[in-house]
Structure 1
Amino acid sequence: MQEKFLKNIPFEEVLELKSLINYAEGRVSSKTLVQRNDLSITLFAFDKGEGLSTHSAPGDAMVYVIEGSVKVTIGHDTEVVLKEGQIAVMPANIPHALESIEKYKMLLIVVKPQKVK
């Protein structure tokens, strides 16, 4: 059997990204596709009013909005509104937060430094 590097996603078929995660009333839903020391890829669905409070990550984080819209705060000076099909990158170790404008779905890719063996 060949090793698979992605999980929680069907292989060898055409998929619509936003159909792979569902909204849950009053909650944030997530589905991990890759979780490694140097890389994580996660799908999220945020109900209206849900978001992520200010935090930082040890790697560069790219948010790709696949449905809806979200306000992203990066550092102390930058606020952007992302809509379906748009991306923003949050640098490693810089505080950032996400606040819903409406319910939204996003793909989050975090690339971290590789650990030296």
Structure 2
Amino acid sequence: MKNPELEKAKVFIIVEIIEYIPNSVLIKTIIKKTTGNVSAVSFDSGETLSEKTTPFDNFIQVIDGEAEVVIDGKSNLLNTGESIIIPAHTPNIIKANVRFKMISTIIKSGYENLTLD
């Protein structure tokens, strides 16, 4: 399988590396490592990522349009250039009331000593 990451040491314009696809959510890997991932994601208007909970913090940065990020039942509207951190172990939903693009950064290190009771 070909490496899904973008080519290293090559300049790119982040908002142009991913397109909008009608009626879809598209994810393009920028960096994928065992210690975390960086992805560009595009949402067409009306699309939603269903509620989920992950064991890691997720830094979301909107790079085009407007996103609705619901964290533990609280809705947050983010416009281009705005960011939010979805805390680990917290239910969340990402919605596209209008189409938008975002960068999602998940850092997995730092959880090695975490014990769940």
Give the alignment's TM-score, normalised by structure 2.
0.84
What number of residue pairs does the alignment pair up? 110
Aligned to 2:41: 44
Pick the aligned partner of 2:97 from 97, 101, 104: 101
Pick the aligned partner of 2:27 from 13, 25, 30: 30
Q: How does 1:1-117 map to 2 (within 5 A)?
A: 8-76=5-73, 78-113=74-109, 115=112
Say which SS state the counterpart of residue 15 (structure 1) adopts: coil
Say which SS state the counterpart of residue 45 (structure 2) adopts: coil
C-alpha displacement of 1:115? 4.7
Identity %: 25
Residues 90-110 of structure 1, C-alpha deviations (whole Å, 9 max, x = no match): 100100001112100000001
CA separation of 1:115 and 1:35: change in aligned 2, threshold 3 A: farther
| Residues in 2 aligned to 1:58 and 1:112: alpha-carbon distance in whole angstroms | 8
Matched residue type, 1:61: N
Matched residue type, 2:89: N
What RMSD over aligned residues (CA atoms) do the two structures have, in Å?
1.8
C-alpha displacement of 1:10? 3.4
Residues 27-70 of structure 1, C-alpha deviations (whole Å, 9 max, x = no match): 11111122223211111011111121110111000110000001
Which sections of structure 1, spanning at least 5 residues, go unmatched?
1-5
